[in-house]
Amino acid sequence: MTPATTGDVRIPVFASVAAWRADPRRAEDGAGTARPSVREATRAIIERVRREGDRALVDLAARLDRVQLDPPSLRVTPDELAAAASGASPDARALLARTRDRIAAYHERQREASFEMEIGPGATLGWRVLPVVSVGVYVPGGRAVYPSTVLMNTVPAAIAGVPRIALTTPPGALERSPILAAAVEIAGVTEVYRVGGAQAVAAFAFGTGVVRRVDKVVGPGNAFVAEAKRQLGDVIGTDAVAGPSEVVVLADGTASPAWVAADLLAQAEHGSGEERAILVTTSPEVGRAVAAEITRQAADQPNRATIAAALDRHGAVIVTRDLNEAVAVCEELAPEHLEVMTRDPDALAARLPAAGALLLGPWSAVAAGDYGVGPNHVLPTGGTARFSSPLSVADFQKRQSVARLSRAALAARRADFEAFARIEGFEAHRRSISIRFHGSPGDPDRPDPGPSPSAANHETP
C-alpha cells in the first residue's frame, strides 16, 4: 500500500490485488455485530418499552432526546404535521412530488400477480399475493434529515396495498425540517409518531398504548435501531439490517478520474466514518489520477472530516491485471452500489450479479439512484448483496399458498400421500388421510369408495 497523496484526505493505492489482500485494515471489515455496550443498552430499552409502554417512551425522550413529552404528544396530529410542512417552499414540494412519481413508476412494475391453477378434476391450487396488514417506517432525524428515505420506504408500501402505514421519527425532527414534514404529507402518511431510536422499533413491535403495533418495520437508523431490529426479529418483521454505505467503481482506462473521485467522495461523506469507497481499475494511471483528484476535490468539501475518516479506514484504489480480475474482485466485494465505467459497461453487466445496485456507464452516478431516478436506494450492504435484494414492493407483501381438493381429487392421490407418511414414520398423518375414506359419524361422504389400485395392498385401520 502506498499513500497516493500528501494532502489531509488520502486514499490508499494498491498496485495489485495481492497487495490489497494483505492490507491489515481488511481484518476489521465485514458486517459484524453490534458492540456489547450497544447490545446491552438496546436490550434494556426494549424491555422497558415492553413493560412500561408510553411511560418508557416519555422518559427516554427526556433522557436521550432532551424533549419533554406526555403520552398524547407522542403522536403527531394532522394539524401539527401541516404546520411543520407549511415551511417547505413550493419548489421543494414540487421536487418531492416529482421524485415520488418517479419512484412510483418504477415500483409499479414490481407488482406480483396471484394465480390459480387446476391440476386435475376437483383439484385447484393457488398462490395469493397479499399486502402486509400494517407497516411502520423509521426515518432518522438526528443531525441530518432524509426526506428521500420517507419516499423510498412509503411509496413501495402503498403500491403493495398496505392498508396501514405508520411512520416515526425522533422528537423535533419534523419541526426542524419542513421538507421532511412535507415529504410525509406528500407520501400520504397520516399516522405519525415522535419516537426515535431503539425505543421506536420496540414500540412498533409491542404497541404502547399511543403507538400502535405493526406487523413489520422498515427504514434505516443508527446502531441502536439496527440492533433493536436484530433483537426483535422474532417478534416483528424487519427489513435487512443496513450497515455502512458502500460504493465500488469498476473502471478501465477510459474512465474520467475526476468523475470517479467525485463518486467515491459522495459515498464517503455519509457521516459514520465507516463507509466503503473503493476503485477497482485495470489502469494504474487512472488509479493514481483518481487518488490525486480525491485530495484536490476534498479540499473544500464541507464534510471533509467524515470523508477523511471513511477513506482512511476503508478507502482503496485496487489495480488489477485485467478486466477479468477486476470483475472477480467486484464479485468478492458484493457491494451496495457498483458503478461500471468502462468502454462497454453493458458487456459486463451479466458478469456482475453480486451487487445491490448496478449503475452502468459514466452518467449513472450513485447520487442519481439515491435521489429518486426510480430504483430504491435501500440496498443490501456488508456483502449481503450476494443473496439479498433492494427494498421493493415484495418486501411489503406476504404470500399464501391455497389448495382446494374434492373427495375424488384426494382419492386419486391418496396412495402417494399415505406412502410418504409411512416413509417418514408419521402414522397419524397417514390416518388423517385414511379416515376420510373409512368414514366417521356424521361423515357426509360415506360409504368408502375403496383405495385406488396402487393402494390396494396398503394396510388400513
- Residues with catalytic function: 336-337
Cell numbers 497523496 label which residue?
5
Alpha-carbon distance of 342 to 324, in angstroms, equals 13
Q: Which residues of 371-380 are buried (b: 16+ CB within 10 A; e: fewer)?
A: bbbebbbbbb
Task: For residue 153, give the nearest of 202, 112, 103 by alpha carbon.
Answer: 103
Alpha-carbon distance of 200 to 218, in angstroms, equals 11
Task: For residue 129, give the nearest of 147, 142, 110 by alpha carbon.
Answer: 110
Task: For residue 239, give the nearest of 370, 355, 396, 374 by alpha carbon.
Answer: 396
Question: Is the CB of residue 300 less than 8 Å from the CB of residue 15?
Answer: no
Question: Is the CB of residue 374 less than 8 Å from the CB of residue 106?
Answer: yes
Question: Which contiguous run of DSSP H or E holds residue 108?
Answer: helix 90-108
Distance between first and last Cα of the chain? 76
Alpha-carbon distance of 282 to 449, in angstroms, equals 74
Cell numbers 409491542 label which residue?
206
Write down the number of H helices and E strands in the chain: 18, 16
Integer-rounded Cα Rg, in Å, for the chain is 28
- The Cα-based distances of 193 to 105, 136, 137, 163, 211 in angstroms read 28, 10, 10, 18, 7
Alpha-carbon distance of 358 to 248, in angstroms, equals 10
What's the grid cell of residue 276?
A: 466503503
User: Three-state secondary structure along 291-334?
Assistant: HHHHHHHHCCCCCHHHHHHHHHHHCEEEECCCHHHHHHHHHHHC
Alpha-carbon distance of 459 to 456, in angstroms, equals 8
Q: Extract the runs of DSSP E, i.e. beta strands, from 139-240.
A: 164-169, 191-194, 216-218, 237-238
